[in-house]
Structure 1
Amino acid sequence: MDLQLLLALVLGIGTIIFLVLRTRIDAFVALLIAALVTGFVAGSPPIETIGSMTTGFGNTLASIGIVIGLGVAIGKILEVSGAADALAKKFVKALGRGREHWAMAGTGAVVSIPVFCDSGFVIMNPLARSIARRLQGRYVTLALALGCGMTLTHHLVPPTPGPLGVAGILGADLGGLILAGLVFTLALLPIVILYAAWMGPKLESELDDEVRQEVYGHATVGATGHSAGVGTATLDRPEPVVDEAPVHQLGDPPAGEKPHTISFGLAALPLLVPLVLIVLNTVGAAIDRNNQGVLSPDAEYTPANWAEVLAFIGHPVVALIIGIVLAVYVLLPRWTPRKQVHHWMAEAAGSAGLIILITGAGGALGQVLRDSGVGDALAEAIADLSLPGVLVPFFIASLVRVAQGSGTVAMITAASVSAPLVVGLDLSPLAAALACCAGSMVFSYFNDSYFWVVTRFTGLSGTAALRGWSGITTAVWLGSLPLVLIAGAVL
């Protein structure tokens, strides 16, 4: 590998780590400075580096910026109306004490099959917060389990774009990849749950004060991860409260109006409707493409009218707009003042702003790393090593992921580099595809936009973010290694 590109990668990563952990510079500015350092050391013209940064920033926010804003707004209405609390009450009753993180991991894995994990985490995080509020602890455990459950299927199970692209490049059977990806997911879910249960309590005391206040109110959380009200002893085994009325911020109803209560079905509508619409879009597009048959290379794909309708209403932006309209008009009582609703929306926009900026800056750094050639150079270097056949695409995907942050780009790059090698390595396309997808899960950190979504919503920063989120993604990556070796041997 070109030593200049290697130095660019090392100095870029080192800049982020130093600025975030050792200076007063926040993550947003640190990411932008690291992008400039990387481009300069890699030898990219300064103007091209700036162009890469703005392109990466814009492309990232084009796909997730509006979704974050709308998702935070839905979460705010769920919170103030008591809907999130009603959902948590139902979950706690159904699952029983001690199993909530299993439910979060499983829910995340299911939701992220048709929905980008960034969008899915934003939509489902209010539920994790409300369950933690009722348990008076364990928020970090629940958030890590939810986020990494989504990571598994986002990386392993079509129809998410990465696995779909890998299957197409390598010629792997799509049905086989779906089944094998589900098997990998089921095998790796216990690792997600065990790591979250082990690390979550250790990081509970590291929560950002603002997030702690949003999740637990005026409670304080000790090192055990449990919380207690001011002036009370910390609880050793908190019992979830499941029979009290939903907590909300609507105030008392005017004379003649009934007290505000929300059923589980109504509370779930602003969450379920957007998710169902997005799923219908994904399924409808797949069915319509199948009906089109095998197209010639020069043929243009034209979706049917019904598929175009589903593509519109099932787009994450439109689906979440429908979700916020439902939240405002279904969850809030008719006597809620318009000014108060606008105030809540403004609060949501304020909390979403920094998350959006940091997420975009992560995309800017990733684009500079891609345009500078660091990812391609790493892929070519690992392809030249003497490794078991199935580990070549696995480690190519891993190194590209570390270099530029995007799991989708990492697995697509690994598939592109590995495609000419599959026959020579005596490797089946399906095994190679699984290796590409699994290898791309490694060590999500500063240059991954999903890192910032999860850690900022969870309230972790610095070393706590690395121990929690980077650690759990690396744990599932390590857990996937023997599965990849088995796949290489039997498929």
Structure 2
Amino acid sequence: MINSFLYVFLWLLAGIAVIVLLTTRFKVHPFFALIIAGFVVGIGVGMPVSEVLTHVKNGFGNILKSLGLVIVLGITLGVILEHTGSTRVMAGFIRKLVNEKRAALAMNLTGFSVGTLIFCDSGFIVLDGLNNSLARKTKVPIATMAVSLAAGLYAIHCMIPPHPGAAAAAEIIGVDFGQLIMAGIVVAIPTSLVGFWWATYAGKKNPVVLADEEEQESDLPDHSVIRAFLPIIAPILLIAIRSFIALDAPDQNWVISVLVTIGDPVIALAIGVLLAFNTKRGWQKNTVSHLMQDAVQKSGGILVIIGAGAAFGAVLVAINIGEYVNQAIPLEGLGILFPFLLAFILKTAQGSSTVAVITAASIVQPLLPNLGITTEMGYLLCVLSMGAGSIMISHANDSYFWVISKFSGVGMREMLRVYSVATILMGLTSFIMVYLLSLILL
């Protein structure tokens, strides 16, 4: 199977076009779009159908073997924290810590904290009532409050596992979860704050505030702040500690062995789930059953997208896309800029950050040597740069855009002026942070 670069490249573009058109114009689920794209590219370059099918199956199975339990447990943890009210306890604590004069900053920090293990759209819906209540009390423009909260949730969502895009990219590229979490948090903090800053600045230009109305706020759950935060903090610390331990050290003692075991992402997240259950007393069997079912159902949609993305990537690896691109385009000088631009284009075109990162990782993985990315730190920065690209630009084809608009009552024009521009600034800030890290780590 010998083809020219132009021929292979055109079929690659055709595959990407299939993903974008099917998911945006025809509203096809990303799973089917990615699988179809894999067959389009494979068959287009002359690969037998049976061989394409084999690569699709292998790619799908291998990624789920590595990430299946991590995604399910991560989503389960988020579902329990929502149900027990731990997210509201964390929000109340941060609000008191910052005080109501800095209400927008309080919601930004709350979103960042809660978003560590809860999807950005779910987190926004859960915290929307508190956000609106705070906006009424403080008379801060609702666009400022909504986008500040959204930015905190979004920055962390695009950067760290177990969020599906970052988790899948880490597995495809070969990056340690613990190191990605720690570096991702470092990048996400200024990214989140830039979103808050722009929301504060741009929101003043059209200071629409929510009208006062009688509110009867439900009491916060009776568990402590420590119990609320612990299910999130414990898994992150355990995974981070494990990543800095030499796993192949010959003189490991029992303490190191235990830390290595409980720091495995699956075990660490399972511990987080148990700690989350401890935030509430008197669990009913039906309630637990409902939460578990809800978590599994939410996980299923994410897992099939991740699997399909890996299947698409397996086809690209099989056709040696890296060799073709290397022959025609000098990629050495692009480095981490290429994955950033690729994820940015895919995100802007089809709307989903998760699909953008998974697709970009699948395309970039065979090209890593050609990009001059050959070290563990280089792989880490590559994943972070794709996360940065997947932040921008969020607009009308992004479901999160509409969640923010509909729940907060911010109109289309204001969403584009405040939120969409905020995502551009956040994405650029993320990439600048990744570049600065590259100067230190490489």
TM-score range, shorter chain: 0.5 to 0.7
> 2:268 is matched with which residue?
319
**Matched AA of 2:369:** S
What SS class does the counterpart of residue 61 from structure 2 fall into? helix
Inter-CA distance 456–351: structure 2 relative to 1 (3 Å threshold): farther
> 1:82 is matched with which residue?
85
> 2:37 is matched with which residue?
34
**Residue 444 (structure 1) aligned with residue 380 (structure 2):** no
Tell me the CA shift for residue 77 of structure 1: 1.9
Conserved 8 A contact 1:57-1:360: yes
1:3-402 pair list within 5 angstroms: 3-95=6-98, 96-100=102-106, 102-103=108-109, 120-122=116-118, 129-136=125-132, 142-149=149-156, 151=158, 191=194, 193=196, 236=210, 244-246=218-220, 261-283=222-244, 285-286=245-246, 292=249, 305-328=254-277, 330-334=278-282, 336-383=283-330, 391-398=333-340
What SS class does the counterpart of residue 92 from structure 2 fall into? helix
**Aligned equivalents of 1:270 and 1:357: distance in 2?**
26
Inter-CA distance 88–19: structure 2 relative to 1 (3 Å threshold): same
Inter-CA distance 180–13: structure 2 relative to 1 (3 Å threshold): closer
Tell me the CA shift for residue 58 of structure 1: 2.1
Tell me the CA shift for residue 54 of structure 1: 1.9
Spell out, residue by residue over 1:233-257, the C-alpha distance to the aligned partner (whole angstroms, 9 max, x if none). Answer: x953889x997512xxxxxxxxxxx
Spell out, residue by residue over 1:386-405, the C-alpha distance to the aligned partner (whole angstroms, 9 max, x if none). Answer: xxx8x432455457767995
**Aligned equivalents of 2:437 and 2:240: distance in 1?**
32
**Matched AA of 1:142:** L
Tell me the CA shift for residue 436 of structure 1: 5.6
Tell me the CA shift for residue 264 of structure 1: 0.9
Conserved 8 A contact 1:383-1:396: no
Inter-CA distance 440–354: structure 2 relative to 1 (3 Å threshold): closer
**Matched AA of 1:72:** I
Inter-CA distance 101–339: structure 2 relative to 1 (3 Å threshold): closer
What SS class does the counterpart of residue 210 from structure 2 fall into? coil
Output the TM-score relative to the length of structure 2. Answer: 0.66
Inter-CA distance 392–242: structure 2 relative to 1 (3 Å threshold): farther
**Matched AA of 2:390:** S
**Matched AA of 1:348:** A
What SS class does the counterpart of residue 103 from structure 2 fall into? coil
Q: 1:416 aligns with which of 363, 369, 385?
A: 369
Spell out, residue by residue over 1:171-198, the C-alpha distance to the aligned partner (whole angstroms, 9 max, x if none). Answer: xxxx9xxx99999777766555567889
Tell me the CA shift for residue 127 of structure 1: 5.6
**Aligned equivalents of 1:102 and 1:416: distance in 2?**
38
**Aligned equivalents of 1:471 and 1:145: distance in 2?**
11
**Aligned equivalents of 2:80 and 2:186: distance in 1?**
37
**Aligned equivalents of 2:216 and 2:51: distance in 1?**
57
**Matched AA of 2:275:** L
Output the TM-score relative to the length of structure 1. Answer: 0.60
Q: Report how many residues are paired.
A: 383
Inter-CA distance 23–143: structure 2 relative to 1 (3 Å threshold): same
Spell out, residue by residue over 1:83-134, the C-alpha distance to the aligned partner (whole angstroms, 9 max, x if none). Answer: 22111211222233011464268659xx9xxxxxxxx544888665543331
Conserved 8 A contact 2:77-2:273: yes
Q: CA RMSD in A?
A: 5.2
Tell me the CA shift for residue 65 of structure 1: 2.4
What SS class does the counterpart of residue 60 from structure 1 fall into? helix
Spell out, residue by residue over 1:59-81, the C-alpha distance to the aligned partner (whole angstroms, 9 max, x if none). Answer: 33233322222222222222222
Conserved 8 A contact 2:79-2:291: yes
Tell me the CA shift for residue 269 of structure 1: 2.2
Tell me the CA shift for residue 314 of structure 1: 1.0
Spell out, residue by residue over 1:425-474, the C-alpha distance to the aligned partner (whole angstroms, 9 max, x if none). Answer: xxxx99989986775456439xxxxxxxx9689969xxx9xx98999479
Inter-CA distance 484–341: structure 2 relative to 1 (3 Å threshold): closer
**Aligned equivalents of 1:20 and 1:470: distance in 2?**
23
**Aligned equivalents of 1:340 and 1:435: distance in 2?**
42
1:425-444 pair list within 5 angstroms: 440-441=386-387, 443-444=389-390
Spell out, residue by residue over 1:185-219, the C-alpha distance to the aligned partner (whole angstroms, 9 max, x if none). Answer: 777665555678899x9xxxxxxxxxxxxxxxxxx
> 2:5 is matched with which residue?
2
**Matched AA of 2:239:** I
Structure 2 spans left out of the alignment, 5+ residues? 133-141, 162-168, 347-355, 392-397, 405-411
> 2:139 is matched with which residue?
none
Tell me the CA shift for residue 379 of structure 1: 4.4
Tell me the CA shift for residue 309 of structure 1: 2.1
**Aligned equivalents of 2:200 and 2:293: distance in 1?**
35
Conserved 8 A contact 1:128-1:142: yes
